[in-house]
Amino acid sequence: MNNMEQARYNMIEQQIRPWDVADAQVLSLLAIVKREQFVPAGRQSMAFMDMEIPLGFGTTMWQPKLEARVLHELKIKKNERVLEVGTGSGYLTALLSRLAAQVASIEIVAELSAQAAHNLAAQDFDNVQLEVADASKGWGSAHYDVIVLTGSVPVLPREFQQQLTVGGRLFAILGDAPAMQAKLITRLANDVFESVTLFETNVLPLQNAQQPQRFVF
């Protein structure tokens, strides 16, 4: 086992499994999809560290264990359509695309979207549609089985819940730093939603995220 593969193995065994990620398909994907090929040039040595990796433009890649836990909780099926808000490097996009039928990923920063397109094309991910736009308050009129917000939001725009299919799941990190909660929201019926708090975390907000009304004294 070379140094890169040893680092990948250590990431899975020492960071991801201990964080309640037991889904065999997710663990297998983490071994197959090469995370080091999605990090910025010159930062390959950081690919498997338990840390966020700066991408520029005020954004970062999530910690590996957060990416894995999200996939574990969403339980994506092969026939499902996914909306990802915040493409970043394209690594989570790649993982989502291996689990789902189709992924639409929206990125507000054109340079990041272009780099993600390059990263994905190099690995032959062909069921991904990338768009450059502001999707912080919803995206179009289509419905999705899974929606993932890769930046935190102080309040969750209702539009995202309304874009879920019945049975669809939404992952979002809600709140303001440093107290944020990762939530899984499931649409049980047309007007019935279930919200489960998964864990506490702290990630950068989506650009242009909807803000709550705040009192001014």
The domain that contains 50 carries what CATH number?
3.40.50.150
pLDDT at position 109 over 60: yes
The number of distinct structural domains making up the chain is: 1
- Reply yes or no on whether the pLDDT at 113 is more than 90: yes
| pLDDT computed for residue 126 by the predictor | 87
Q: Is the pTM of this model over 0.85?
A: yes
Q: Return the higher-pLDDT residue of 41 and 73.
A: 73
Mean pLDDT of 47-75: 97
pLDDT of 217 over the 90 cut: no
DSSP 8-state class, residue 138: B
What lies within 8 Å, CB to CB, of 135 at 6+ separation is 83, 85, 106, 108
Give the pLDDT of residue 1. 58
Examine residue 212 and state whether it is found in any structural domain, yes or no.
no
Q: Is residue 152 part of a domain?
A: yes
> Could you give the CA distance from residue 114 to residue 63 in angstroms, rounded to a whole number?
22
The pLDDT tens digits for 17-31 are 999 999 999 999 999
Q: What domain range is 111 assigned to? A: 3-201
Cα distances (Å, whole numbers) of residue 112 to 13, 86, 123: 30, 9, 17
